[in-house]
Amino acid sequence: MEDEQILALFRERDERAIAETEARYGAYCRQIALRILGSKEDAEETVSDVWLRAWEAIPPQHPRVFSAWLARVTRNLSISRAREKQAQKRGGAFGTALEELSACIPAPSSTEDEVSARALEQSIAGFLRTLEPMQRDVFLARYWYLASVEEICRRTGFSKSKVKSMLSRIRGRLRIFLQEEGYL
């Protein structure tokens, strides 16, 4: 079933919308959740929460790109769950990837910072458009999908040192870009 048909089921409050979404995007959302959480059980629970969130949000929301909207909801819910789990314990792929970026992107500490977060998102999106496609893919794989360096190596055929070096250079460029934009 196509996305527009699934979204129509959500708007009609037809419960088949969830089954169709699961059939079309279940594996995709589980993969995102599993990369962040590292636990199949937590990933399954999170994906169930994604379906509930979709049911509650559509309508009034009408996602333009349903797969991207689901990926964002999955990622956000997974990160929230990972933060809860790691409140007592540090580490894992999630913690490591975010620690790598911490020197580039300051954490919001006030309401004013939260308001500027949207502008920061737009600036980072602009920065990503300046990268070569392979650099952008490697960067997004690591920091959006939280893939390990080893996974990126398998996917790209690059050596571990090349991937680490590429990520380091991109973070350096991002840091300079954000300084020029006034974020650091």
C-alpha distance across the termini of the chain, in Å: 46
pTM of the full predicted structure?
Answer: 0.59
CATH 1.10.1740.10 fits 3-86, yes or no: yes
Q: What is the mean pLDDT of the chain?
A: 84
Lowest mean pLDDT, pick from 6-10, 117-121, 158-162: 117-121
The pLDDT of residue 174 is above 80: yes
- Band of residue 41 on the pLDDT scale cut at 50, 70, 90: very high
3-86 matches 96-180 in fold: no
Domain coordinates in residue numbering, the chain: 3-86, 96-180
Residue 159, judged by CB atoms within 10 A of its CB (0-12, 13-18, 19+), counts as exposed
Contact of 42 with 84, CB cutoff 8 Å? no
- Please provide the DSSP assignment of 18-52 as one string: HHHHHHHHHHHHHHHHHHHH--HHHHHHHHHHHHH
Question: Mean pLDDT, to the nearest integer, of 21-47?
Answer: 92
96-180 to CATH, choices 1.10.10.10, 3.40.640.10, 1.20.1090.10, 2.40.160.20: 1.10.10.10
Map residue 110 onto helix, strand or coil.
Answer: coil
Nearest to 61 by CA among 10, 9, 14: 10
- Res 137: pLDDT: 92
| Residue range 74-116, pLDDT digits in tens | 988 998 888 877 655 555 555 556 566 655 655 555 555 555 6
Selection from 33, 76, 41 nearest residue 57 by Cα: 76
* 138 burial via Cβ count (<10 Å: 0-12, 13-18, 19+): buried
pLDDT band at residue 164 using 50, 70 and 90 as cut-offs: very high
Of residues 114 and 118, more confidently modeled: 118
